[in-house]
Chain A
Amino acid sequence: DGGITQSPKYLFRKEGQNVTLSCEQNLNHDAMYWYRQDPGQGLRLIYYSQIVNDFQKGDIAEGYSVSREKKESFPLTVTSAQKNPTAFYLCASSIGLTGGTEAFFGQGTRLTVV
């Protein structure tokens, strides 16, 4: 089945450690996105990518890094510089940034830093 896979579903890390969240899609979509959700907040944009080897900072990119070496994959690294990394992270993709098409979402990764 076509879709977006995020792994793992739950992730625990010690404070000060970097951690990488996986996002893979087999929808042949060019655009991919990372969002973060905190209690009482909406989905806030961390990074997005329009095409392979290109990505742009979103509203809350500080403390995060991404890569887009393959069309199917857009991993997000939460670095030790991120002040409050504990959150729910959602990955999404769409055919492109422009065009009237919807985004498709993964199941999310809940990261807890202790």
Chain B
Amino acid sequence: ILNVEQSPQSLHVQEGDSTNFTCSFPSSNFYALHWYRWETAKSPEALFVMTLNGDEKKKGRISATLNTKEGYSYLYIKGSQPEDSATYLCALKNSNSGYALNFGKGTSLLVTP
């Protein structure tokens, strides 16, 4: 079982605040790191797929960075909006798990007006 850790477990911010979450993972045999957003009553949707050390990706107000050598990724949300409220999942792919996606427990974000 791959140990993919996410912190914090939950977060409550005010509209307009910027926030960030952490995903930690074993750095050996790294293949890819995925971020997904899971809104209530919907299916998880991909935000980013990152494969290279030092990768930085951005989609609107959301961005992510990747450090494969030390085994962590950060997800940043700038100027949070109520519609950003969701659970944010990171998932690791590496050769130890046959390249299947192994998920962390997620960070639950609530943004209030």
A residues whose Cβ falls under 8 Å from a Cβ of B: 4, 33, 35, 40-45, 48, 50, 56, 58-59, 90, 92, 94, 97-98, 100-108
Q: Which of A41, A59, A100 contacts B1 (CB 8 A)?
A: A59
Q: Is the CB of A108 within 8 A of B43?
A: yes
Which residues of A sit under 8 angstroms from B101, Cβ to Cβ?
Answer: 33, 45, 92, 94, 103
CA distance A94 to B100 in the complex (A): 10
Minimum C-beta distance from A4 to chain B (A): 8
Q: Is the CB of A35 within 8 A of B43?
A: no
Question: With an 8 A cutoff between CB atoms, is B113 at the interface?
Answer: no
Question: With an 8 A cutoff between CB atoms, is B32 at the interface?
Answer: yes
Q: Is the CB of B100 within 8 A of A98?
A: no
Number of interface residues of B (CB under 8 A): 27
Q: Is the CB of B104 within 8 A of A42?
A: yes
Question: With an 8 A cutoff between CB atoms, is B109 at the interface?
Answer: no
Question: With an 8 A cutoff between CB atoms, is B103 at the interface?
Answer: yes
Minimum C-beta distance from A89 to chain B (A): 13
Q: Is the CB of B43 within 8 A of A101?
A: no
Q: Which of A33, A40, A43, A50 contacts B89 (CB 8 A)?
A: A43
Q: Is the CB of B98 within 8 A of A98?
A: no
Q: Is the CB of B43 within 8 A of A106?
A: yes
Q: Given A98-B31, A100-B32, is A42 in contact with B89 using a C-beta cutoff of 8 Å?
A: yes
